[in-house]
Structure 1
Amino acid sequence: MKARFLRLLHLAHRWLGTASGVLILAWFVSGLVMLYVPFPKLDTDERVSRQAPLQPDVLTVSPAQAATACPGKLRGARLAMALGRPVYHFSGTDAACSVWADTGEPVVVTPELARASAEAFLPDAKLGTVEPIERDQWTVYSTYRPHRPLLRISVDDAAGSVVYVSSRSGEVVAHTTRFERGWSWLGTVPHWLYFTPLRGDDTSLWRQLVLWLPVPALLTVAAGLALGLQRLRLRRRYPRGQITPYRGWKRGHHLLGLGGGGLAFTWLLSGWLSNHPFGLLEFSGLPKGAAQRLAGVAFSPADDLPLLKRQLAAAPGGREAEWYRFGGRHYLEVRGPDSSRRLDDQARQALPIPPQALADMIAAIEGQPVAQAELIHEADLYHYGRRNPAVLPAVRIRLADPEQTTWYIDPASGRVLGRVDAANRLHRWVFNGLHRLDFPPLGALPALRDGLITLLCLLGAALATSGCVIGMRRLRRQRPQ
């Protein structure tokens, strides 16, 4: 019975490994690439750094007046400059909408305007033709939906840039380079199966693939671990004192499996669980209506143009202004290349929100008493930065409930930075801990952590490569005549 079971286990490992070996190899290689080259994305800092300074004197239309030109319900607004003119960018439930702040007329995005926006984003660059697209390989995220169709413009520069202009607002919403695109084909794209046909409006096929493709890989590694330990001999060794009965590629595969098989299994398992298969490892979000209760008032575009000009005058050099709400009041955040300033509805510097005031609001939202509310100046195990530094100082509010639910809030704006309960803690340790090695003391030593991940990814890639070679040799072997 035991011999038959081992034979079945051996066959399962052989043929499942032959089928999934290349996929496992691709995951290790792509994970290593992702560590150093993220998927192309235009972040707020880069966008702001490329914008022209705001000119309050040329404003003639208030946000409320401009908003009348936009259909549907609006959720937010920004003020920026475009082609030397001020423009309000409104975000809506379905699509973005932009209105010139000097005339109140809606922005009509023409190919000429798109080219001008790209030229302002990349001065002195030689632009190609404007190509309307719905999406491509680098704009698969749903965050681009309000701006579709996009206007793609190739740029003849040393970096091989491609910029994407919103057909709704006329602003550049994405920027990629040849370096980012090339490495992403080896990194994020195969790792997360971010292929354009799978990431359209209907992502059901993509979800099924990321749910089921890791299963044979997990079974392969689990069977290999069991067989590897069963064939290992540390006391009664094989001939010539060997601990493994194999030679050549099989010997290397056996030893690599013993050294890195456990790691391969935990990485595959934690990566698979990050997709929450069958509801496993799901993390919770904010309580329903929490964001609205913290804001205290629904978004409504400001109708006081003199106030807006005073606010902008109080933050000279700003390149973008965005409205936000907290505690029933509207505020304006004016961003510059190096810093930002937050102004209240009296054009005064907005003061930090006291921890106790935030704690009272969270207690009312959660319906639980507060055990501790404090201002922290250093990252902790659940509020920390990876690619970007953590927002500090932050207010940490721990509730006196069975799960010790903890909120992290930016005292400068009241923005929720995170909410951690039992489900989120489990996700943090299973995914971030096992998959990204985000645990003490490596979290405080990024260079050591990156070096260790690099070494382990190479070990996993070597294990997968040896398995692929063995599988290919098995398939090429001729049957006896």
Structure 2
Amino acid sequence: MKHPALRFLHLAHRWLGIGAGVLVLVWFVSGLVMLYVPFPKLDVDTRVAHLYTLRADAIQFSPAEAARACPSAPKGGRIAMTAGRPAYHFATRDGACSVWADTGAALGPVTPDMALRAAHDFLPGVPLSEPETIDRDQWTVYATYNAHRPLHVFQAADAAGTTLYVSSRSGEVVNRTTRLERVAGWVGTVPHWIYFTPLRGEDTRSWRMLVLWLPPVALLTVLLGLALGIQRLRLRRRYPRGLVTPYRGWKRWHHLLGLGAGGFALTWLLSGWLSNHPFGLLEFSSLPRGSAERLAGGPFKPSDSVELLRRQLARVPDAREAEWSRFAGRSYLEVRSPGHSQRLDDNAAPSRPIPPETLAEAIRDIEGKPIARVELIHEADLYHYGRRNPAVLPAARIRLADEQDTTWYLDPASGRVLARIDNPNRLHRWVFNGLHRLDFPPLTALPALREALITLLCLLGITLASTGCVLGWRRLRHRKPAP
């Protein structure tokens, strides 16, 4: 390579690095924080643990009667205590629709006083601030909250600095954040995903442009640095005093760290960029259209029997919440209590696991392809495994006899689809989960070792990006003497 071309590459790396160095540093720091503190989200177990025991004797209207109070047909439903009374919570195409189970009247819109009661029920004995009504904020940017907007927000005077978000449609607490989660979010998830509220509103076009074009700039910077670092490295004919690098001071550390961590930085940036499917790259396939309804055996059909619901709730001590589901035309009720759940059939008897062969027949009808193999697995495999939460096991694994070796994973307890894997999904699993999260054997089975390795690599990346930022700052401050 000629000297002018080398100089051009050095200048390109320098000025691209000045622009992208801080961005890469922020991504390494935020990725490390995300490893230990995820984005705030109220999971089902936490929500159920804060609910009061369902009063079955107070239920006077059946789910079918209550559903008539909704403006559109429900797609699913739950029942739980809200403000000291049992209430049905239906999901419809128009958003959340809640109905009192004791009067059959619509629950919403939720007043600030009712929202305050729900917040006090969630955190009994904790002083709460006056309610503030918002449409969205930094911790409710997800589209899953659209069905509950606007939201009533309460600040709790507890040691954790808790903030509660109550739905204006259902009167339920739909999110909870703590001071630690919010601080970690501002350092971790928010800058890592560029999830700033103005960019994640109804119009996300600006956000999509940023995640489309910022990573390639960082990628080119790292790629040029890696190429130039290798070109300047001497392992045989060394520089004076036996050195392998011609640089000194900060440049020397930047050179050596780039050689050590540059490859990881390159694959990490590439896999993170591809996770957003730029220009249609690395897109994964979804379930065949209508498959969920075909597995259910038809649309959601609320029960018209109050007595059946009471008998079902009586089977589970300390029942806090119950949710309906369907499979093959039959309705089931999953009754949840803290640390436990039980699935009951439409005779109020504990439901039996669905045979894998029955699930395979349903998948064959959906796909229109023959089945190659059906098995019940009791251990995680390469495509069905736990990350932050344990994998659902046992699971039915159904392989199709097609050219892509399409494989379905279903929960035999409920018939719920856990995953559908074909070639595009396999590619996404290895490029994103493998390269970006280091989810590959044997690290998948050794979470402590995986976290330690990611931490070490992130610290190396932080040091590499920091040296680049120092060099960039020095270059910007450098001024040539006046003639």
Instruction: Return the TM-score normalized by structure 1.
Output: 0.99
The residue number in structure 1 matching 2:293 is 292
Map 1:372-387 onto structure 2 (within 5 A): 372-387=373-388
SS in 1 for 2:95: coil
CA distance in 1, matches of 2:224, 2:409: 42
Take 1:15 and 1:309, find their aligned partners in 2: how far apart are those partners?
70
1:340 is aligned to 341
**Does residue 1:422 correspond to 2:423, yes or no?**
yes
Whole-angstrom CA distance in 2 between matches of 1:94 and 1:58: 28
Question: 1:273-312, aligned counterparts within 5 Å?
Answer: 273-312=274-313
1:129 match: secondary structure: coil
| Structure 2 residue identity aligned to 1:279 | G
Asked if structure 1 preserves the Cα contact closer than 8 Å seen for 2:31 and 2:188, the reply is yes
List 4+ stretches of structure 1 deviating above 6 A.
none
Unaligned regions of 5+ residues in structure 2, if any? none
Equivalent residue, structure 2, for 1:478: 479
AA at the equivalent of 2:206:
L
Shift of 1:347: 1.2
SS in 2 for 1:284: coil
Structure 1 distance, partners of 2:354, 2:2, is 67
Q: Distance in 1 between matches of 2:303 and 2:205?
A: 41
Q: Which residue of 1 aligns with 2:402?
A: 401
Equivalents in 2 of 1:223, 1:338: separation in Å? 52
Partner SS, residue 382 of structure 1: coil
Q: Does 1:118 align with 2:140?
A: no
1:230 maps to 2:193: no
The alignment partner of 2:279 has SS state of: helix
- The reply on whether 1:34 has 2:34 as its aligned counterpart is yes
Measure the CA separation in 2 of the matches of 1:237 and 1:97: 73
SS of the aligned residue for 1:126 comes to coil
Deviations 1:226-277 (CA, angstroms, capped at 9, x unpaired): 1000000001111111100000000000000000000000000000000000
CA deviation profile, 1:33-92 (whole Å, cap 9, x unmatched): 000000000010000011011121111011111111111231111000122211001111
**Distance apart, 1:301 and its partner CA:** 1.7
Note if contact 1:406-1:420 (Cα within 8 Å) is conserved in structure 2. yes
Task: Supply the distance in 2 between the matched residues of 1:198 and 1:83 (Cα, whole angstroms).
Answer: 35
Find out whether 1:241 has 2:236 as its counterpart.
no
Deviations 1:438-478 (A, max 9, x none): 00000110000000000000000100000000000000001
- Letter of the structure 2 residue corresponding to residue 158 of structure 1: A
Partner SS, residue 266 of structure 1: helix
In structure 2, what is the equivalent of residue 86 of structure 1? 86
Q: Partner amino acid for 1:23?
A: L
Tell me the amino acid that sits aligned with residue 364 of structure 2. A
Structure-2 residue corresponding to 1:188: 189
Offset, 1:363:
1.1
**Alpha-carbon shift at residue 4 of structure 1 (Å):** 2.2
1:181-220 to 2 correspondences below 5 Å: 181-220=182-221
In structure 1, the partner of 2:70 is: 70
CA distance in 2, matches of 1:3, 1:281: 38
The Cα offsets for residues 398-431 of structure 1, whole Å up to 9 and x where unpaired, read as 1111110100000000000000000000000000
- Aligned partner of 2:154 in structure 1 is 153
Contact 1:374 1:396 in 2 (8 A): yes
The separation in 1 between residues aligned to 2:317 and 2:56, in whole angstroms, is 10
| Partner of residue 107, structure 2 | 107
CA contact (8 A) 2:88 2:100 kept: yes
Q: Whole-Å Cα distance in 1 between the matches of residues 73 and 219 of structure 2? A: 46
Q: How far is the alpha carbon of 1:317 from its aligned partner?
A: 1.8
Work out whether residues 297 and 329 of structure 1, in 8 Å CA contact, stay in contact via their aligned partners in 2. Answer: no
- Is the counterpart of residue 263 in structure 1 residue 264 in structure 2? yes
Measured after TM superposition, the shift of residue 306 of structure 1 is 1.2
Aligned residues: 481
What amino acid maps onto 1:92 in structure 2?
A: T
Structure 1 residues 5-44: aligned runs within 5 Å: 5-44=5-44
The separation in 2 between residues aligned to 1:368 and 1:297, in whole angstroms, is 21
SS at match of 1:362: helix
Output the aligned Cα RMSD.
0.8
Which letter does structure 1 place at the counterpart of 2:40?
P
Are 1:221 and 2:217 an aligned pair? no
Q: After alignment, is 3-12 or 41-50 more displaced?
A: 3-12
Question: What displacement does 1:289 show?
Answer: 1.0
Deviation at 1:18, TM superposition (A): 0.4
Aligned-pair CA distance for 1:346: 1.2
The offset of 1:480, in angstroms, is: 2.5
Q: Does 1:175 align with 2:165?
A: no
Distance in 1 separating the partners of 2:83 and 2:275 = 43
CA distance in 2, matches of 1:95, 1:288: 22
Does the CA contact (< 8 Å) of 2:67 and 2:73 recur in 1?
no
What pairs with 1:315-326 in structure 2 (closer than 5 Å)?
315-326=316-327
Unaligned regions of 5+ residues in structure 1, if any?
A: none
After the TM superposition, which of the residue ranges 173-182 and 304-313 deviates more from structure 2?
304-313
1:94, distance to aligned residue in structure 2 (A)? 2.3
Q: Secondary structure at the match of 2:187?
A: coil
Q: For 2:440 and 2:416, how far apart are their aligned partners in 1?
A: 26
Q: TM-score, normalised by structure 2?
A: 0.99
Are 1:322 and 1:333, in contact at CA under 8 Å, matched by a contact in 2?
Answer: yes
Matches of 1:260 and 1:73, distance apart in 2: 55
Partner of 2:55 in structure 1?
A: 55
Q: Give the deviation of 1:305 after TM superposition.
A: 1.2
Match of 2:365 in 1: 364
Farther-moved stretch of structure 1 (100-109 vs 157-166): 100-109
Amino acid at match of 2:455: T
Deviation (angstroms), 1:281: 0.5
Q: Deviation per CA, 1:295-344, whole angstroms, max 9, x where unpaired?
A: 11111221111111111112232110000011011111101111111111
Distance 2:398 2:435 in 1: 27
Percent identity of paired positions between Structure 1 and Structure 2: 69
CA contact (8 A) 2:88 2:99 kept: yes
Of 182-191 and 81-90, the range deviating more from structure 2 = 81-90
Q: What code does the residue aligned with 1:30 have?
A: S
- Counterpart of 2:135? 134
